[in-house]
Structure 1
């Protein structure tokens, strides 16, 4: 199947459909937004080096994901978008499995997002890519204006609080998006929070002018618990002032609130540990694969030498030295490659004093696999209840992974060097032996 041409047909079809069924009130969900989502999906998909079929699924789903706005209300637009994608792809002769994957990607963008595989995660991140870009303020303004024109308008304060709630509850689904966008997204969120604090202070001052006693904590802000606009991601987040789901403190002058806020784990730190651990795991898998290649190649060489050459050495005495050089090189390389992948298993027991001194890493199985479940549970509870212990454990875990990786790659480098130079030496030895004998 010619995926590139079919993908272009899908994109052209959606653009043409949107122009034909133009709705002037849709200031945000238009061709410009669709183009941005497609470009973001391409960027993320290229990072993960998707094959042609998966790439086609993601980009086609990105093209169709909001077309449902143009043939019905915002509510349930994802279902209509998926149905239109199915109709288009069926007419083009696309197989049912591919169509099903495209529909699943589109439906995964429903708020709250809950993707189940990499393709769905890529589209979900592409759909909300603007949250972590410099264009966020402008895109957010257009979205609010669109909601107002569609009869779902809110005051600036209400919209800002819903946007803050959305951004605090939202998490980018792919590691790449988190690395690329989290910092700017947090910066955009902080700006909104600052504006909200300033707005609260202004409202509090007005209240103080009207009353003798300030009532900042009971500020009568609007409550919007339900909404029919399921197509707007911000409108789907419930806001209850007084029981706010927002993570920012309303009273920044209160030292207790400030201290509690400072103690909260930073998402950037958690993301750093998660990505570092994942990278270390991938590097470890790569090292194991490299070692496996060396072991396999040298096993074949040893088998060939033993079965073919050793029996002929009586009649070819000149080949004895080159043959044993080759055998030695292959055997040495295999041994070192095996040592690189040979696991080291610790005692599996940790001492209570190590736990008290916060020196044990309970994230590594080698430190607890012989302990009882009760002892391990008690230890993990201590780790989770102590922020310093928790981050210290994560640091030790990453460090220990690095130590193991360092040993693996040093041994692998040694094995590859022995194999490379040894193979050259063996070939030269065979050539010299043959020339001298001749």
Structure 2
């Protein structure tokens, strides 16, 4: 009889390749190879005759072929496939029966009845005592989820594995107990440590959440803090915008006055340019007023920069503004801040005062800036109109000056007539 084991291996490989869906991440040919390899470890280190070794090898190769038919009671389906294949290959009926019993021994709900079944059971569950246990376990979890059989979270699956390794599973053969049991215990220890670490992490997170909630209840609401933060930020941003606008006006008007002084003023000495005096004055005065108002808008106010202990006790001083403390000594300011931080109401009152006075400063700046832009705009318009009118009037005056006077045109004629008449006489 040709080597039936090699034929069986080839048959199982083709069957799984052609008929087993790719969704089987664990129960595939890789798993079959691992079981077959573990089985050979036991055979090589045990006193097993050639026929029993053949039965075990055939069982290892055929034990999960039933997954090509069904996921429920796949052991029975594997037995049917094994019987059909081995019968076609004219294998002895006693061997076929033994193979069927070994395959059924891989069912967790059954107990192995003889040495062959014990060996087969240990080979099928050898991954519990291997370094690749974590990898194969995760493949099995995902396979169950994809197949719609069961869905476990990583924590739930961890509990299932701990239960399996500590209570349900056991090795039966002497070789497995000597060589795989210690690794199984290490895998179990890792699972338990990981569970403890996870529980500790969850406990720590719960405590953090508890204290955070407690602190949040005791402290002012976050919305209040957000209000002050956003309001102060917006006030400072608006103040920067106002200063920028004032600086633009200063720069523009400085350029205008420079051009006026360098180009127009030097021409006013000439009597023929008298018509430029009024437009130039309007132009210059509007620019100067705009510059003055821009400077006033950005000019800082001088504050006394001092406070007394009475001011702190009466909560009159605003310690959030530098103008109220810049002349004080460091120790005095630190003591004042310590008093401020002891009283939440004082803190928020200080922030409210800061907001209020910032708003007053902004109101002053923007009112002056509005007036400044209005004067600048009106001054430009009036200046342009004045220049236009002056040019037109001056042009008309020059044309009249160029025309000859009526008396000057007639007088020579009279003289000519008189002369002529005198000559005729």
If the length of structure 2 is used for normalisation, what is the TM-score? 0.47
Structure number with the higher helix fraction is 2
Structure showing greater Rg: 2
If the length of structure 1 is used for normalisation, what is the TM-score? 0.46
